[in-house]
Structure 1
Amino acid sequence: MEGKAFVIMVLSGLCALPSCFPRQYHIIEEPKTWTEAQRYCREKFTDLATVDNQEDVAKLNEILGRHYEGSVWIGLYDDINSWRWSLEKKSYYGEGEAEFRMWASNEPDNFYNNESWAIKAQDSSRFVFVNESKTWTEAQSYCREKFTDLVSVKNQAENDEIKMKNQGHDVWIGLFRDLWKWSDGRAMSFTNWNTENNQPNGCIAESCVVTSYGKWEDWPCGQRFYFACYSGEL
């Protein structure tokens, strides 16, 4: 049985082009997992709801307040499998080398969402150990200025060589991932987390986002909630 759907129009600035239509939010009162909700929204509309600013928050809250005041899925999620190397030059990698990983046991665990970067510097030929304490972003900037980039570990031999050079220290390498992104592929540029409830709380099992009474919270993607879709242009 199809759930009820409600719609509200979001006017995203002025547009004179015929192809530019205002965005519409649709609240689907049918409990689904986040993945099921994403599939439904893509089949029936455009995608799960994307929220770009406080005006969008107000419009979405308005329709939720009139029809449903609980938690609903939106399109924000944590792509925990998006690890990639800082050095993006494709010609640097042989077949399968860009996907080489040497995770320790039980890693990556995404503990409290603080591990956006997996644990050197790399010149045009081999590896250089930099004996300075920096954040990952600082280390990336330093390596790009002085050498080529943070090191990409392409195979077991390189991993062994780096292990010998690091003198027993934990060191940054170039592996990192993005955190939160929208279902439609857009990067997150606006947040509305429920900070009073310590959100996002960083639990690895909670990688999808609901809006709950006007604020965002991360929940396990397999939970079933009503959900918000959008249609039209962003």
Structure 2
Amino acid sequence: MMKTLLLCVTLSVFSVPSTRTEPFFREYHYVKALKTWEEAQQACRELHSDLATVDSPAESARLLGEVQEPGELAWIGLYDNMTKWKWTMGRPEFDRNIDYHCWQDDNPKYKCLNDTCATVRYNGLWRDEICNTERPFVCYNEQGPPKFIYVTTFMTWDDAKNYCRSMYTDLARVNSEAENTELYNLLPRNAWIGLYRRPGLPGLWFNVNCEEKHNFFCERLIPPRSRVKLRFRSGADLTDPQIQLQILEQLQAELQTNSLTDVRLRWITRDGQVFHEEKEEGK
């Protein structure tokens, strides 16, 4: 007896032009092998796509769910980037390629620590330091002279920022060589300014030295998928794996004749079966 059956096919499109806007799916892989950050990155690029990245709370939850031992540290793909520096006043983004800066040759030196803040030395050179360090600081007053106010009291960067905002305008921002010269002429020693790097990220992330060795997370980017349902009649035994393979091969050949060469097909199973009999109406 001929039966009307319903089957599902999943198409993973790799290079076929598409108007789809949904992102690639990140498939996370926890790798239990102690490596530095750079070694882990190289391994992930060889085995998968790259070190894991996280763009949403949902991805963060999925990644943390892969951790096999609670409390264990594991590398992800977050790393030091100059574009993450920001000013407390005015346009916040700091771009080393276009904005004025006067970093000392070996600075920023805390390459794997994102929670760092900038100081200006007595010679005008900038250094990055741990924000919890206590330093004197320079405020900016936009209401009247002098523009830069040197405060001798030692405070952490956050306390200095709060002080400047309560007493003046904000921690100092330096936009030119002339302003930098004016500022450092006030200084007998290193002092905080309003440049900092402190990203806010979902999840349980920690800043550690990139030379430490930890296990790590890789990601594999899975392209968007389309699910297609087909309805047809057949007298063959569709539970036979060989028959199922032949059908896939025939579908693949048909797609190729229509110039869809970069498509992969696979069956989707439901209740342990690929094919499901469709009940006729009235029966």
Using the size of structure 2 for normalisation, the TM-score is: 0.44
Aligned length: 165
Tell me the C-alpha RMSD between the 2 structures. 4.5
Matching residue of 1:161: 182
Counterparts of residues 178-189 of structure 1 (less than 5 Å): 178=198, 187-189=200-202
Amino acid paired to 2:77: G
1:83 maps onto 2:85 in alignment: yes
Report the CA distance shift for 1:192/1:33 in structure 2 as closer, same or farther (over 3 A).
closer
How far off its partner does 1:127 sit? Answer: 0.8
Matching residue of 2:64: 57
Measured in 1, the distance between the counterparts of 2:28 and 2:111 equals: 34
C-alpha distance after superposition, 1:56-83 (max 9, x if no partner) = 4233549xxxxxxxx9863333335522
How far off its partner does 1:49 sit? Answer: 4.2
Measured in 2, the distance between the counterparts of 1:211 and 1:160 equals: 44
Correspondent of 1:146 among 167, 171, 174: 167
C-alpha distance after superposition, 1:16-40 (max 9, x if no partner) = xxxx99x7634399xx9738968x7
Give the unaligned 5+ runs of structure 1. Answer: 1-19, 63-70, 180-186, 194-198, 217-225
How far off its partner does 1:157 sit? Answer: 1.1
Correspondent of 2:203 among 190, 213, 233: 190
How far off its partner does 1:149 sit? Answer: 1.1
Report the CA distance shift for 1:24/1:108 in structure 2 as closer, same or farther (over 3 A).
closer
Matching residue of 2:141: 123
Greater helix share, structure number: 1
Greater strand share, structure number: 2
Measured in 1, the distance between the counterparts of 2:101 and 2:76 equals: 32
Report the CA distance shift for 1:97/1:52 in structure 2 as closer, same or farther (over 3 A).
closer
SS of equivalent to 2:154: coil
Amino acid paired to 2:163: Y
Measured in 1, the distance between the counterparts of 2:60 and 2:30 equals: 20
1:108 maps onto 2:108 in alignment: yes
* Alpha-carbon contact 1:72-1:227 (below 8 Å) kept: no
Give the unaligned 5+ runs of structure 2. Answer: 1-21, 32-38, 120-137, 224-283
Decide which structure has the larger Cα Rg and report it.
2
Using the size of structure 1 for normalisation, the TM-score is: 0.52
* Alpha-carbon contact 2:80-2:111 (below 8 Å) kept: no
Measured in 1, the distance between the counterparts of 2:195 and 2:114 equals: 14
Amino acid paired to 2:192: W
